[in-house]
Amino acid sequence: MSFRVVIEEEAEREFAEAAAFYDEREPGVGQRFTKDLQAFFRTVCQDPGRFPFASRLTQKAKMPEPWPYSIFFVVKRQTSEVIISTIWHGARNPAELRRRLK
């Protein structure tokens, strides 16, 4: 079964900020990040059950190198959706992440 991606507003903002950050540092890198993240969403949607749980309902999928991001998501099997709640840079404050995942 394949799932469709739904990106929550805050995760969408994090996605846009990350892409803009990379493009400011080096033109074109933000586009590569966007392409890689979208491909990673498709990978997660093919088999979301293979990723570990970070909280009772939320799962975590670490992006492949060189990207220091993880996506946090909830699977809604009844609607065949993967709800992306957070696109998290590994260097950010983990206390903030814990607060958001509650």
Summarize pLDDT for 67-99 with one digit per residue, the tens: 999 999 999 999 999 999 999 999 888 888 887
pLDDT of residue 93: 83
Total domains in the fold of the chain: 1
pLDDT of residue 92: 87
Summarize pLDDT for 18-73 with one digit per residue, the tens: 999 999 999 999 999 999 999 999 999 999 999 999 999 999 999 999 999 999 99
Grouping H, G, I as helix, E, B as strand and the rest as coil, residue 92 is coil
Q: Give the separation between CA 101 and CA 56, rounded to whole angstroms.
A: 9
Report the CATH number at residue 90.
3.30.2310.20
Range of the domain at 66: 4-101
The secondary structure of the chain, three-state, reads CCCEEEECHHHHHHHHHHHHHHHHHCCCHHHHHHHHHHHHHHHHHHCHHHCCECCCCCEEEECCCCCCEEEEEEEEHHHCEEEEEEEEECCCCHHHHHHHHC
